[in-house]
Amino acid sequence: MSETIFVAGAAGAIGTALVPLLIEAGHTVYGSTRRPERARALEAHGAVPVVVDVFDAHALYAAVVRIKPDTVIHQITDLPPDLDPKLMADAAYRNARVRTEGTRNLVAAALAAGSRRLVAQSIAWVYAPGPLPHVEEHPLDLQAEGARRVSVEGVAALERSVLNAKGIAGTVLRYGQFYGPGTSNAGPKGTCPVHVEAAAWAAVLALRHSPGGVFNIAEDNPEVSSEKAKRELGWHASLRLRERQGEAQGQRMGVAS
């Protein structure tokens, strides 16, 4: 079924992979970016560009209410190029602000617009120490210190905003460390890696199958289990953009639900 979808952060690594998948599935996609120079790239991918800053609550509210999307997808982050270690300490605070204030603004706009679903990007490497592999029910590491605590508290705030929004089905995708096109890593890196294109597919599958809730999205590894996403969303880590045409055609023909 064709929907109107607002992708916040559509010009980022995930958004760049996600927008073509949504377009080819027959959806009308509005993609936001805070940088006017990225609008043309969004148009080239088939999205209607919306230049708006997630921290400008009034402008964001007005834009989303005007569009009236069925679904809002939150893929906004604020990280330095190539994850420059010299800049990451400051980036932790900026990214936490995106997850707290930015998510709060986006949820308010989605509710005002009458959106039915919200899918948001979170991360899978902020669980508290405990039995492995970590599953979605395990607690986050809220006792962490320093920059990690800043990040964990930002993640917790994002997830509360999304999951507790009344009248909207909220889904949180706890992604592993990205690699692939548009990211800082050409190959798998970190304790729970995931290819950026497989991560984008998780958002598409969440639209089709998720009733709401939290899902780990990472390749098989000893640290984090993604069995719930495999079981309930039909996600698997080998998904790539080359598969999008067959999937999109199948959905339009009624093969995929």
pLDDT per residue as tens digits for the range 6-18: 999 999 999 999 9
Is 254 or 185 the better-scoring residue by pLDDT? 185
pLDDT per residue as tens digits for the range 77-89: 987 566 666 656 6
pLDDT per residue as tens digits for the range 143-169: 999 999 999 999 999 999 999 999 999
Structure tokens at 251: 């959905």
Residue 83 has what pLDDT? 62
Residue 246 has what pLDDT? 46
Residue 251 has what pLDDT? 44
Q: Specify whether the CB–CB gap between 150 and 229 falls below 8 A.
A: no
**Position 137: which residue type?**
E
Q: Give yes or no for a cis peptide into 133 (omega within 30° of 0).
A: yes
Q: Is a pLDDT exceeding 60 seen at residue 244?
A: no
Percent of the chain at pLDDT > 70 equals: 90
Residue 90 has what pLDDT? 79
pLDDT per residue as tens digits for the range 167-179: 999 999 999 999 9
pLDDT per residue as tens digits for the range 180-226: 999 999 999 999 999 999 999 999 999 999 999 999 999 999 999 99
Rounded distance between C-alpha atoms, residue 93 and residue 147, angstroms: 8
Structure tokens at 219: 């390749």
Q: Is a pLDDT exceeding 50 seen at residue 255?
A: no
Cα dist from 190 to 87, 145, 176, 221, whole Å: 19, 20, 8, 10
Q: Is a pLDDT exceeding 60 seen at residue 230?
A: yes
Structural domains of the chain sorted by starting position, each given as residue range(s) with its CATH number in brackets: 4-252 (3.40.50.720)
